Amino acid sequence: MPDYTPPVEDMGFLLKDVFQAEKILTGLPGYEDVSADLVESILEEAGKFCAGVLRPINQSGDEEGSRLVDGKVFTPKGFKEAFKAFVDGGWSSLSAPTEFEGQGLPRTVQILVDEMLSASNLSFGLFPGLTRGACEAIEAHASQELKDTYLPKMISGQWTGAMGLTEGTAGSDLGLLKTTAKPNGDGSYTVSGSKIFISSGDHDMAENVIHLVLARLPDAPAGTKGISLFLCPKFLVNEDGSLGERNSVNVGSLEHKMGIHAQPTCVMNYDDCKGWLVGEVNRGLNGMFTMMNAERLFVGVQGLGLADSSYQTASTYAKERKQGRAPGAKESGMIIEHPDVRKMLLTMLSFVEAARALTIFTALEMDKESKSTDAEVRKQSTGLVALLTPVIKAAFTDFGFEATVLGQQVLGGHGYIKEWGQEQFVRDARIAQIYEGTNGIQAQDLVVRKLSLEGGATVRGFFGDISATLAEGAKVPALAETATAVAAALATLEDVTAWLTTGEGANGLEQNSAATDYLRMFALVTFGWLWVRMGLAVVAKGNAATPHETRKLAVAHFFATRILPQAHALAVQIKAGSAPLMAVASAEF
Amino acid sequence: MPDYTPPVEDMGFLLKDVFQAEKILTGLPGYEDVSADLVESILEEAGKFCAGVLRPINQSGDEEGSRLVDGKVFTPKGFKEAFKAFVDGGWSSLSAPTEFEGQGLPRTVQILVDEMLSASNLSFGLFPGLTRGACEAIEAHASQELKDTYLPKMISGQWTGAMGLTEGTAGSDLGLLKTTAKPNGDGSYTVSGSKIFISSGDHDMAENVIHLVLARLPDAPAGTKGISLFLCPKFLVNEDGSLGERNSVNVGSLEHKMGIHAQPTCVMNYDDCKGWLVGEVNRGLNGMFTMMNAERLFVGVQGLGLADSSYQTASTYAKERKQGRAPGAKESGMIIEHPDVRKMLLTMLSFVEAARALTIFTALEMDKESKSTDAEVRKQSTGLVALLTPVIKAAFTDFGFEATVLGQQVLGGHGYIKEWGQEQFVRDARIAQIYEGTNGIQAQDLVVRKLSLEGGATVRGFFGDISATLAEGAKVPALAETATAVAAALATLEDVTAWLTTGEGANGLEQNSAATDYLRMFALVTFGWLWVRMGLAVVAKGNAATPHETRKLAVAHFFATRILPQAHALAVQIKAGSAPLMAVASAEF
């Protein structure tokens, strides 16, 4: 597997030239010291860690996989040492609250580190990612005692976290879950049930694993309104914070999966284990949803990171591989000269850079949401983040997966064998379209719930921002054609949005029938907007723009002319409505 | 992994009701006895073999994989026995010429058997598939002595075949290959070189493996015009036909691949091995291209077969899996009721059935091409087959792969774990987009070479046939909307075709820049045409149509309204031209 080159330079361009992140962040209480230089040095160091420590064990981790021996999970060679280095480097506490010994850095910094973790070694990146998610749920909902007992050690990386949601017959529909919890009378509960697909459910890299488990109390209402959240540690914790006896939180088996082989995805048995309630009775899903925006942004960047990794290998290969005469050439040249190879690479690139821009845009909104002193700003950011979260989760992982497939295709047969690592990126990327809510569920969330936020004002405001950028772009010769194409796509998107929210399509059946096509269309237009924004930043730099930055104008034009037209077809497909989907009787499939 | 249900009923509908295959086949010399009943009984038996013998060892074969031990290849448990049963059942000789002890059945029958072989166990199906390809090259080009020595035993399945084309630095561009051959003076040659990606290069299922190897003679011209084809058997053959000494045809290693694990993909070393020239000196590529149409049709149906397998599991799962309230429903139902699940299943289905129709249409043309006594018919069939071959190879494997990804998505997390087999279909399907000429090469072939066949008359004739069907469809109320949508897409395709062949796009650079988008567009319109043809056949049956057949009218409508609109976007993308692809300097990728 080739080396990984951390995209720190591109991140810097986006932070500084496109989004003026320093100004936004240092204006927020708690982030006053988060200068551009500080962020750059953190990203540099994180990149070195990912490229130097995590990437070298990515392929070997895939080959070896995690193993279950006598009820204990062993991660592949090098993972334990890498995790120790990760913890020692302070990477696990980066954005955690200072109150619990975290470093209190912005989400914006965290998410860019997450991209590099995912890109270099997704299986590894899931360990700290899930721990962070568990910490956020505990922080938002648990009692002070639970917070004080668990958070500092989870944040330091001494302990890790896991989420016990899915059961054999309850996946997307958690209302069907059967795990039970009974009060013991001493404030603790006895939790009993079996969960599947539990990432990081057990391993040998940390002393303790803290499970957050969804379960039903006796006499809880049926469905999603009868679910509570419990904290069940692998080892019970003594009053002095030391580890006590083993709790009956047991690994039934490891799932055998298409990819992320190094990541131990467990069947977990909670065999009358001891647990503590997190948050209110019967409001367990609230606890889970607290962290959903952040987790879904994290899953989105997994698609982005793997696409970038695949792009890096594919572009290097294409510049070094001699084969076939390009049109008009007299003899065999490098395959990068072939238009179709370029089309594949540009498709990948136009996704990767736009997705990274949207990641930063959204993370900055999340930072504003949690830190701004201006209630109006917070409210607006909350709306934007809610709107964009399903788009990021689903579109980044769909386009990201497709990008890894293209990156494999560029290498031909060499992409299919394991040597170059391209096929691993495809297998690893595939899961991100499924977990943390399938992409179909994300699309449903976007269309059914998010378009109607603030009576539609949120989405209208977002489209308005896009429109303003496009008007600016249309005035710049180097961007005019691009901006005009995006404006046409935006007009179509606005039309379809109106159809789905106030027109003929404004009902559950049509909305659900439109959802996945609509989300894709929404993402394409959003990417187009960001390409114009990036283009404007390049133009504004004038002669100071590097060749690498000037390239972005050409990639923007490629995206607008050779990818974005799909948006118009999607609109036609959506307006064809639900009838073509519902005509075949269920039994006839 | 769930059972496989051979689609014999659907094949029967296509053969009888859509294409009147019996009439065509029995009108060809040599096929007089190939009645619909005979074909049906062959397909029934083949289906039983595939479902009963090959599918049960598909997943275990993937898990175990082929192994190389002390220079010998061992196939997974059960493969040797299955191959014996395959040979004993006469399946290896089905369509081989009677002159060499084959059964002389039509290509049309063979390709439908191939679909079921691929669907049930692709790794297995490649063994007989490659043997057949090698036999066809030998039959068309080798001396009578070589034919008599090798063909009967390869056709009976006593020996198998392999193709030695690709080298480490020569893949799509075979002109770069370095393997050498020197005449020994006794009519034999000494072949020396190393080849990679050699499917079925060695194994334990048959006595001998016959390699067809591309190599250069001393003083051969550079490039593709200096390549000759040699037959190099693993064991030399004595004059009496018995096996003689071991030839130095050696397995260097097995490739470690994303999928088709049971299939031994070998690095082969031809260490001064003995070989015999097949065909003329320096015209080795001709020998390979002889069998290319047939091989590419075979690779196309691999995509089709795996898509059908994935569809079968996904549709069964969707009807049995309870989860989530569908729009308008009061409680959780089966996921088949969700519009988005239906969209995924219908996307798969609309590809599978149209692709199967195109397979039969094309195979019938191939049978006419090889057997018709009418030179004009032969000529026309040759043109059609040449035109459609790259479309079938690339579009079936692209759409087929995408279908397996959708079929995996329908199962959510259960699609990502190995248990249900959906992830294996994805991994296995992926290779078909790459081997036998990558799909980019196919698209180039279509646009650069095939559109200009007979000065464009071939493609115009094909579009004319489509037009005639659509005019008929437009008159039938149940098909009018579908036919109209396909007609609009056809008009766009004709316009782009003119642009690429006689307009601004009629040059190598534009054609190559358009190729993959064009091929996809061509395939979509062709599928639309076949949906109207199938729809007309259903309508013609009136009340005799089964519910399963009547379903096809709804699937046709789904395809025309919710998939086909992409064709118009592809046209816009194509006409944006090469400039957006060529603007970035090679070094800037």
- What is the 3-state secondary structure of A398-458? HHHHHHHHHHHHHCCHHHHECCCCHHHHHHHHHHHCCCCCCHHHHHHHHHHHHCCHHHHHH
For residue A68, list its beta bridge partners: A73
> What Cα–Cα distance (Å) separates residue B245 from each residue in A275, A309, B131, B234?
72, 49, 22, 9
| Residue B324, pLDDT above cutoff 80 | no
The residues that bridge with B265 in the sheet, in sequence order, are B199
Letter for the amino acid at A19? F
Q: Classify strands B159-164 and B208-215 as parallel, antiparallel or unpaired.
A: parallel
**Model pLDDT, residue B72:** 96
Task: Say which CATH topology domain B160-282 has.
Answer: Butyryl-CoA Dehydrogenase, subunit A; domain 2 (2.40.110)
**Are the C-beta atoms of A266 and A201 separated by less than 8 Å?**
yes
**What are residue A178's phi and psi, to 5 degrees?**
-120, -10
Beta strands in B240-315 (DSSP E): 243-246, 249-254, 265-278
- At residue B330, the pLDDT reads 79
The partner residues of B209 in beta bridges, in order of sequence, read B160
So what's the pLDDT on residue A331?
Answer: 78
What does the radius of gyration of chain B's CA atoms come to, in whole angstroms?
A: 24
Is-contact B353 B10, C-beta < 8 A? yes
| Alpha-carbon distances of A543 from A475, A540, A547, A557, rounded to whole Å | 19, 9, 10, 20
Amino acid identity for residue B104 in this structure: G
Contact with chain A for residue B117, Cβ under 8 A: no
| CA pair distance B17, B23, nearest whole angstrom | 11
Strands (E), B6-125: 67-69, 72-74
Query: If you classify domain B291-437 with CATH, what class do you get?
Result: mainly alpha
Rounded to the nearest 10 degrees, what angle do helices A122-141 and A107-120 cross at?
A: 150
Pairing outcome for strands A208-215 and A159-164: parallel
Each residue of B181-210: pLDDT tens digit?
Answer: 999 999 999 999 999 999 999 999 999 999
Task: Tell me the sheet residues that pair with B217.
Answer: none
Collapsed DSSP state (helix, strand, coil) of residue A73: strand
The residues pairing with B198 across neighbouring beta strands, listed in sequence order, are B266
Separation between Cα atoms, residue B344 and residue B351, nearest integer Å: 11
Task: Kindly list the distances between the CA atom of residue B172 and the CA atoms of A261, B192, B436, in Å, as whole numbers in the listed order.
Answer: 32, 21, 9
Query: Which of the residues A167, A267, A512 would you substitute to probe the B interface, choosing the one with the greatest number of B C-beta atoms within 10 Å?
Result: A512
Chain B's closest residue to A513, CA to CA, is: B339
Closest approach of B225 to chain A, Cα-based (Å) = 14
HSE (side-chain half, CA atoms, 13 Å) at A127: 31
Q: Reply yes or no on whether the pLDDT at B174 is more than 90.
A: no
Residues sharing a CB contact under 8 Å with residue B482, sequence separation 6 or more, in sequence order:
B473, B528, B531, B532, B535, B556, B557, B559, B560, B561
At a CB cut-off of 8 Å and minimum separation 6, what does B219 contact?
A: none
Phi, psi (deg, nearest 5) at residue B266: -105, 150
Q: Is A238 within 8 Å of chain B by CB?
A: no
Rounded CA-CA distance B314/B307 in Å is 10
The answer to whether domain A8-289 has CATH 3.40.50.300 is no
> Cβ–Cβ contacts within 10 Å for residue B268, how many?
27
Give contacts of B259 with chain A, Cβ < 8 Å: 416
Best CA proximity match to A532, nearest among A465, A486, A565, A489:
A486
Q: A-B interface: how many C-beta pairs under 8 angstroms?
A: 273
- Cβ separation of B172 and A324 shorter than 8 Å? yes
Q: State yes or no: pLDDT of B291 exceeds 80.
A: no
Cβ-Cβ contacts under 8 Å, A444 against chain B: 340
Provide the residue-wise pLDDT of chain A in tens; the chain has 589 residues.
899 999 999 999 999 999 999 999 999 999 999 999 999 999 999 999 999 999 999 999 999 999 999 999 999 999 999 999 999 999 999 999 999 999 999 999 999 999 999 999 999 999 999 999 999 999 999 999 999 999 999 999 999 999 999 999 888 888 889 999 999 999 999 999 999 999 999 999 999 999 999 999 999 999 889 999 999 999 999 999 999 999 999 999 999 999 999 999 999 999 999 999 999 999 998 878 777 778 999 999 999 999 999 999 999 999 999 887 788 887 778 999 999 999 999 999 999 999 999 999 999 999 999 999 999 999 999 999 999 999 999 999 999 999 999 999 999 999 999 999 999 999 999 999 999 999 999 999 999 999 999 999 999 999 999 999 999 999 999 999 999 999 999 999 999 999 999 999 999 999 999 999 999 999 999 999 999 999 999 999 999 999 999 999 999 999 999 999 999 999 999 999 999 999 999 999 9
User: Is the Cβ of A551 closer than 8 Å to some Cβ of chain B?
Assistant: yes
Q: Which token pair is A5?
A: 């080159």
What kind and span of H or E run contains A196?
A: strand A188-199
Residues of A in contact with B346 (CB under 8 A): 580-581, 584
User: Collapsing DSSP states into helix, strand and coil, what is residue B158?
Assistant: coil
C-beta atoms surrounding A358 within 10 Å: 24
Residues B51, B57, B63, B67: is their CA dihedral positive or negative? negative
Q: Which residues in chain A have Cβ-Cβ distances shorter than 8 Å to B580?
A: 346, 554, 557-558, 561-562
- DSSP code string of A282-346: TBHHHHHHHTHHHHHHHHHHHHHHHHHHHHHHHHHHHHH-B-SPPTT-SS--BGGGSHHHHHHHH
**Sequence-separated (6 or more) residues with CB below 8 Å from residue B216:** B177, B178, B179, B180, B181, B226, B227, B228
Residue A251's nearest CA partner among A201, A192, A178, A181 is A201
Nearest to B119 by CA among B300, B367, B388, B261: B300
Instruction: Give the H/E segment covering residue B555.
Output: helix B547-562
Q: Which of residues 517-546 of B touch A (CB under 8 A)?
A: none
- Flag whether pLDDT at B140 surpasses 90: yes
Contact (CB<8Å) A412/B171: yes
Of the candidates B266, B279, B344, B353, the one whose C-alpha atom is nearest the C-alpha of residue B14 is B353
The C-alpha angle with vertex A587 and arms to A581 and A589, in degrees rounded to 5, equals 55
Which sequence positions of A are flagged as catalytic?
436
How many residues can be counted in chain B?
589
Dig out the tokens for A584 from the structure.
Answer: 């075949």
Report how far apart, in Å, the C-alpha atoms of B391 and of each of A246, A536, B518 are.
61, 41, 10
Lowest mean pLDDT, pick from A280-289, B282-291, B306-315, B529-538: B282-291
Quote the DSSP letter at residue B242.
-
SS3 B273: strand
Cβ-defined contact of B562 to A576 (cutoff 8 Å)? yes
User: What is the rounded CA–CA span in Å between residue A422 and residue A407?
Assistant: 7
Cβ neighbours of residue A444 under 8 Å, at least 6 residues apart? A511, A512, A515, B340
For chain B, the average pLDDT equals 96
pLDDT value at position A305?
Answer: 98
DSSP β-ladder status, A208-215 and A228-233: antiparallel
Core vs surface per residue B112-148: b (16+ CB within 10 A) or e: bbbbbbbbbbbbbbbbbbbbbbbbbbbbebbeeebbe
Give me the count of residues in chain A: 589
At the topology level, CATH places domain B27-141 in Butyryl-Coa Dehydrogenase, subunit A; domain 1 (1.10.540)
By CB neighbour count within 10 A (0-12 exposed, 13-18 middle, 19+ buried), where does B474 fall? middle
Digit-coded pLDDT (tens) for B384-430: 999 999 999 999 999 999 999 999 999 999 999 999 999 999 999 99
Residue with tokens 């016990």: A164
In angstroms, the CA A79 to CA A58 distance is 9
Please tell me whether residue A156 adopts helix, strand or coil conformation.
Answer: helix
The DSSP 8-state label assigned to residue A91 in this structure reads G
- Range 374-413 of A in CB contact (< 8 A) with B: 401, 405, 408-409, 412-413
Residues B323/A173, Cβ–Cβ less than 8 Å: yes
B167 touches chain A (CB under 8 A): no
Residues of B in contact with A173 (CB under 8 A): 322-324, 332
Alpha carbon separation from B586 to A335, A339, A345, A412 (Å, rounded): 10, 11, 11, 19
CB atoms within 10 A of CB A554: 21
Nearest CB among A176, A342, A584 relative to B554 is that of A584
- What is the C-alpha to C-alpha distance for residues B206 and B235, in angstroms, rounded to an integer? 11
For chain B, say whether A258 makes contact (Cβ under 8 Å): yes
**Cα dihedral value B268, B271, B276, B279, nearest 10:** 50
A254 forms beta bridges with A266
Q: How far is A276 from chain B (nearest CA, A)?
A: 28
In eight-state DSSP terms, residue A331 is S
Gyration radius from chain A CA atoms: 24
Helix (H, G, I), strand (E, B) or coil at B584: coil
Structure tokens at B11: 């094949």
Question: Span B9-34, mean pLDDT?
Answer: 98
Mind telling me the catalytic residues of B?
436
Domain boundaries, chain A: 8-289, 291-437, 451-582
- Which of A548, A522, A550 has its CA nearest to residue A447? A522
Between the two ends of chain B, the Cα-to-Cα distance in Å is 42
pLDDT of res. A226: 95
Q: What is the pLDDT of residue B288?
A: 80
CB contact under 8 Å between B416 and A430, yes or no, is yes
SS3 A275: strand
- Asked if B589 and A257 come within 8 Å (Cβ–Cβ), the reply is no
Restricting to B residues 259-298, those with a Cβ less than 8 Å away from any Cβ of A are 259
